[in-house]
Structure formats: structure tokens, C-alpha cells
Structure 1
Amino acid sequence: MASTHSKQLKEWLRQREVEELNLRRSMEEREIERADIDKRATERRLFRRLHLERREAETEEAILRAKEAQSLRLAQYEQEEKLAQELEKLQREELKQAKLRQKLRETSIELKDLEAKLRAAYVTKELAAQLAEKEAAKMEEKIREQTAHELQRSLWQQDEELERQRDLEEFQRKLRYRTELQEQMIEAEKQRQEAFKEFLREKKMVDDIVRQIQEEDMREMEQKMINMQKTQEEIEEFRKAREAWKQKERMEMEEENRRLVEYVQMQDMAQQQRMELMRQKEEEKAKVMEKIATALHVEQMKRKEREEIIQELLEEEARLAAEKKEQEEIEKQLRHRIEMRQQQKEYQRQRMEQLKREAAKESEERQRLLAKFAEDDRIEQLTAERRRLKVIEHRRAVERELEERRARRAEEMRKLIRLAELEKEEEKARLRLIEEERLRMLKEHATQLLGYLPRGVLREDDLPHLGSDFVEKYRQDQENT
């Protein structure tokens, strides 16, 4: 018990020493860490002071740069503002021109027709490109097919070679197998023959034993007969019967042996015939499979070609239907516009004729108005002087009325004439703008569509506006066609 207590006390003292040692080590580490923290704090204060000094210098420099940049930005802003105003003015003008061109395109039958023809030219070019691409694709497909055929042929040849090699190996294997089988069969035949010989030997032994037994029996019978004092003739007859029986037994044995040999030969021939029949069936099956594969490939190529032709026909029908619909719409708008213009002209013509008729009937109108005024005032009931004054007053009123009507007719006539002149001027301006837009559209698209533009799109007087390069290419294209 005292020894245990002493051990526990020693252990406790040892642990206290370890704890004190750890505590001193921890305090030393804390002192080192505190010194390091003070050092880093001093360095940070120094770095902060240097950083503040550098920031003040950078701030002053930045203020100077900002003032210079502000002056530069102000000048640049004024310049950009001026450029922006000019650009906005140009953009407004361009937008105005673009809207005008767009309106002309939407309302002008000529530009719609030109746009439709240009689209048709693009479609023709695209179709030509597609046809060329299809032709190239067909050619490439043919080359690929030819390459594939050659590769297939090569693979077939390789397959045939491999097949021949396999067949040769199979033939050699079968030949070896057959040789081995024949050797086995020969060996088996030898064994069978040996067994047969052994069988024959055993049979001979058995037969000999049987014969011996029979001979012994015969001898015994002979001896018995002798003992029984049979005659010599009976003995001789017995011997002949015994010899005949022996001959018959030998013939039966030979016939049995012959049948055994024939049966073995027939089994060999049947086995050979079965093997030959299997080989012929395998060859016929391989030929049939090759013919089926070739026929399937040819049928697949024909079906693919038919599908491509049908697709091309459907695309062409859709394109022609769209062109026909668009042409009918253009013709409808053109007829409507012509009818509206004719109606307007007819109205103006009828109105001018009506004004002319009214001017021609002015004297009749004067008399009618005088009669009307006289009726209204009952002039026949007045005295002669008052009647004369009234007639003068009536004539002056009629003249004023007629003058006002003449003035209205003249004003309306001038308006109609001015309207017709304005319509002519507007039509001329519209035609001029349409012509400018037509030339602009041709300049934009004609070079790309050279060789695909429909007849009538280009006029001879358009060529100088399209550039010398286009004219040269156009002349060459015309010479080639």
C-alpha cells in the first residue's frame, strides 16, 4: 500500500514538472509572439505613413490630371456634341431617304416588280448554286460510291481472298480431318478387319470346334453305325451328306462375310456423299447471299436518286407557285392603280366639260335669271321709270351673279389645271425617284446576280451607271451566251 502511494506521488510530481515546463514554454512563445506583433505594428505604422504620403502626392497629381482631363473632356464634349448634331442630321436625312425609298418600294409597282425579279434572280442563282452543289455532291457521291465500290470490291476481294483462304484452310482442315478420318477409318477398318479377322478366326475356331464336335459326332455316329454293322453304302452316303453340309456351311460363311464387307463400303460411300452435299449447299448459299447484297445496294441507290428528283420537283413547284402568286398580286395592284388614275382623269374631264357647258349657256342663264328676278319683283306692275330702273338693277344683279359664277368656274378650272399639272409633276418626281431607286437597287445587286438576271431588267442606258467592271463582265457574259 505504501509502495503504491509512493508511485502515485512520483507520478503526480512528474506531471507537475511537465506542466510547469509546458507553461514556461508557452510563456516564452507568447513573449516571442508579442515581440513579433510589436514589430509588425511598427512596420504597419511606417507603411501607413508612407502610404498616406504617397496617396497625398498621388491625390495632388490626380487633381492636376483631373483638371487637365476636364478641360480636355469639355473640348472633346463640345466637339462630340457638334459631331453628334451633324451625325444626327445625317442620320435623320438618311432615315428620311430610307423611309422614302421604303415607301416607294411599297407603293411602286415598278420597284415591286424589280424587287420580285431580283428575288427571283437570287432564287435562280441559289437554285443554280444548289444544282451545282447537288451536281458536285452527286459527282462527289459518285466518286465516293466509286471509291466505296472499289473499297467494297477490294473488301469483297479481300473477303473473297480471306474466304478462299478460309475455304482453303477449311478445305485443308477438312482434308486433314478427312485424312485423319480416313486414317481413322482405315485404322478402324484395319481394326474392323482385324476384328473381323479375329471374328473370322474366332468363328473359324468355333466352326472348327463345332466341326470337330460334329465330326466327332459323325465319327461317333459312324462308329455307332459300324458298331451297329451298317452297310458300306450307308456309311458312304452319310459321308457325302456330311461333305455337302460342310460345303453349304462354307458358302454361307463366305456370303455372310461378303455382306459384311459390302455394308462397310456402303457406309463409307454414304458418308462421303453427305460431306459433298454439305459443301455444295454452303457454296450455293454464299452465292445467293452475294447476289442479294448486290441487288439491295442497287435498289437503295435507285430509291435515293428517285427521292432526290421528287424533292427537286417539289421545290421547283413551290418556287413557281410563289412567283405566280407574287406576279398576280403585282398585276392586281397595277390594275387597281390604273383604274384609280383613269377614274380621276375621267372625273376631271367631265368636270371641265361641265364648266365649259355652263360657260356656253351663259346667255340662256342670263335670260333665266332676268325672268326670275322679274317674276320675283312683279316688274309689270311698276311704272315705266321704275320698271326701267328695276330692269337695270336686275341686269346688274344678273351680271354680278354671272361674274361670280364665271370667277368660280375659272377658279375651279385653274384648280383642275393646277391639280393636273401637280399630278404630272408628282408623277415625274415619282418616276425620277423610282428610277434612282431602281438604279440604286441594280448597283447593289446586279454584280452579284450577273448571269442570273431575267431579260428586261437591265436596259442599255443602265450600264454607264453600274461601273466599268460590271459593264466588262456583262459584255463578256453576253458574248458567251
Structure 2
Amino acid sequence: MSSTKRFVEQRIVKRREQEARDQELRRRLMENNIYAGYGKSELNVEKKRRALSEANERRELYMDYSFVKTEQDKTKRVQIAQFEDQLADELAKRKAEQMRHDMDRRRICDGSEELRVLKERLHMAKVNKERAQQLLEIEVRKEKDRITGHLLAEHMENERLEQQELEHKLDIEKKRQRERVKVINQQQIAMKEAQREEAMQEYIKEMEGHMERNQVEELVAKIADEDANEAKARAEKQMESRVMLQQFMVEQKANQEKLEAEEKAENERIEQFARDKREREERLEQERQEKEKEKLRILNAMLGQMEAKNKAAEELELLRNDLHLEELEAESRRREEMQMRKKLEDKEEMKNAYLVQMRAKEEKMLHAREEEGRMREELLKKFAEDDRLEQLNEQKRRMKVEQHRREAERLVELRREMYELARAQEREEQDALRKDEDKRRLIIEDERRRLLREHGQELKKFLPKHTLESMEDVVCFVVTTSYFSVKPRRHDLRNARILPEHFSVKHNWQNKALPTMRCSTTRKQVCPAFRASSENSTCPRARLKTSLAESARPLGILFA
């Protein structure tokens, strides 16, 4: 501010100097006009002097501007640095406040008995979920084993049927082979018979042609010897035919016997081969059956051992889980009993403390009144002794007594004000403690809702009893679970009237104390009149109850 003022004053001074110079210049111009004839040298000198003066003025103005600009930049940098320092201090203050708030919140959450119980119950719900998953895995494993055994038996039955079908096909093929061999043998026999007949016919034809030629020759050459030669030729022909026929019959019989022997040997070989093959197949089948029986025996033994081991492991796991759950439930019941007993003891202690405090307050007030009267009398006596009232006359004595009374009243009032101030400080301390308790209660409720929102979806079917202790927990839990699930239909809510096993209602809609209601797994029909009235009701409380009931349907919860 001072630099700007100085700059303005300098400008004003310079402007005045400039005006004075202008006046002087005008005067000099007039003189120059008068003395124009004095020569041009003086005019040039004046121009140079004026140019030099203007240059000096411009230099001074630039120096002043640079100085003011530097001072303004310095002031701006100082202001920016101060603003940055204030901003950094404010951010550090907010960060420290947030850290302090987080530390207080963590300390309150770590020291809260309710949150510890809720975490234990959520842990119990996780244990229940893991146990349900283990039971489901056991059932799935049993089902897989059953399906595997069924598939194994089906595979073995299919192999047996395929083996029987293969044996049946082999028997059919053997029969067909025998039929083909028999047909081939019959065809060969028929073909040989046909060849024999054909050879016989050709032989007969040749013999007949030969006889005709001999007769012609004999008729031409020896007509005389025809009768003798004819008889002789006929006898020879008959003998030769008989010999050839006998030879043919012997050969045919030998061939027939040979064919029969070959066929018999072939049949014997086929029968022996079939018999050997049957024996081999029977032996292989017997060995295969023995192997299958041994495999089945080993498989049954292994399955029995595995089933026994699995059953023993499952029983041990179930016993372990049951024991763990019983221990958790016993511990939970013990803690609940201790908590209820502690609440009753705290309530009784608070009641006794309240009675003791009231008695102490009455005694204190009585003692204060007595002390006030005694102090008033002592002050009056002291003032009387100080002023020696008995030595004064009546009027002065009355005036002194009145003055003493006013002074005593002033002191008593001053002490009363001090007492009221102390009481006000006590009330402020109590209000601060109450606010701290409300803050602690709010932090604990927020942490409860956070835990319920975090674990509500995955553990909603496995929560133990009395996990949801208030209507706020129910609303938070229902809203959390209904966000991830399908909204139920209204008519599905009309056929059930149950409370969850893990919920106990402790307050009604008007925040009045109610006895704890345990779960009821029985389903009852809702009264139609009540149902119609609840559906058609325009009461906000009834609408809220209906909306909560609709959202709580996936949890198995229905509010009466």
C-alpha cells in the first residue's frame, strides 16, 4: 500500500514538473518566436535537451513500474505461500481428525462386547455353512460312488452279453462252415458220378463203333466166318465188358471208400478242432469267470473297506462337528446367560446407585441448607462482633444489622451461585458422557450393520438363534438380502406365519418392551379378515410391516 501511494505521489510530482516544464517550454517557444532570428543552433540544442529530458522521464517511469511490479509479485507470492500453509494446516488437521476418529472407532469396536458376540455368531454361521458344504460334498461323493458302481456293473453286464453274443455268432459260423463243407463234398461226389457216367457212355459208344467197323470188314472180307467170329467176338466182348465193368466197379468202390474215408477223416478233424476249440474256450471262459470273480471279490472288498473308512470318517466328522457346535452353543448360552445376568446386575446396581445418589442428594441439600443457616448466623455474629453493635444506638444498630443481613445474603447467594455453577458443570459432564455413549452406540450399530451387510447374503441360511437382536438389524438384513434375491410374490406370503430361528423380537413398532418370541417352524393359515385388512390398510406402520414381510420372504421371515 505504501509503495502504491509513493508511486502515485511520484507521478503527481512528475506531472506537475511536466506541466511546469511545458509552461516553461511554451514561454521559451514564445521567446524563440520572438528571437527567431537568433539562429537555428539554439533550437537544435533545445530539441536535444528536450529529447534527453523525455528519455530520462521514460527511464524513470520504467524503473518505477518495475519496482512496483516486483513489490506486487513479492506480496502475491507471500499471500500464496500463506494460503498454501493454511491449506496444508487445514488438510493436516482434517487428516489428524479423521485418524483420531478412526482410532476411536477401532478402539470402541475392539472393546465392544456386542460386536464380539456378533462376530462369534457370524463365525458360528460360517462353521454351519462349512459343515453343510461338507455334508453336501459327502452326499455328492456317495452319489458319485453309487453312479460309478452302477456304471461298473452295467459295463460288466455289457461285456458278458457281448461275450455271449460272440459265442453265439461263433456257433452259427461253425454250423455254416459244416454246411458249406458238406455241400462241397456232395458237389464233389456228384461231379465224380457225372464224370464216371460220361466216361461209361463214351466207352460204350466207342465199343459200338468198333463193333460196327469189324462187322463191315468181316462182312466184306470174311462173309463165311461171320457166324463163328460173331459168336467169338460176342463172347470176348462180353468178357471184356465184364472185366472192365468189374474193374470200374472196383475202382468206383475204392474211390467211394477213399472219399468216405477222406470225408470221415475231415469230419473227425473238424470235430476234433471244434472239440479242442470248445475245450479251449471253456477253459478260457472258466479262467475269465474266475478272474472276474476274483476282481469282483477284490472290488467288493475294496469298496467295503472304502465305505467303512468313509463311514467312520463321516461319523467322526459329524461327531466332531456336533461336539463343536454343542460347545459353541453352550458357550453362546453361557455368554447370553452371563450377559443377561450382567444386565440384571447392572440394572440393580444402577437402581441402587440411583437410590443412593438420591439419598445423598437429599442429605447434601439438607446439609447445604443447614450449612447455609449456620453460616448466615456465624456471619451475623461475626459482623456484630466486628462492629460492636451493643455500643451503638438503636437506629445505627438496626442499620448495621440490616447491612449485615444484606452482606450475609450476598455471600449465601454467591455460594449458591458457585454451587449451581458446579452442578451445571456436572450436568455438562454428564451430557458429554451421554453424548460419548450415544456416539459409541451409534458406532457399534454402524459396525453391526456393516457386518450384517457384508456377511448377510452368504450366511443368511446359517445364522444361529438371536443373531438379529433389534428391528434395525432385521431391516438392514432384509434390505441387504432382498437386493441380491428375487422379490417374492404377495400371495406367497399368505400361506406362512413363522419367525426365523435366528431372530428374537424385543421391541414392537412403538418401541415398547415385549417378551422375546422364539422361532415357530409350524405354518398356519393367516386369518382372511386380518389379511384383507393388512393389505388394504393405509397406515404407514402397516405398510412398512407389509413391505418388510415381502422383503423377508426369502429368509423364511414373516411378521405378525
TM range (shorter): 0.3 to 0.5
Q: Which has the higher helix share?
A: 1
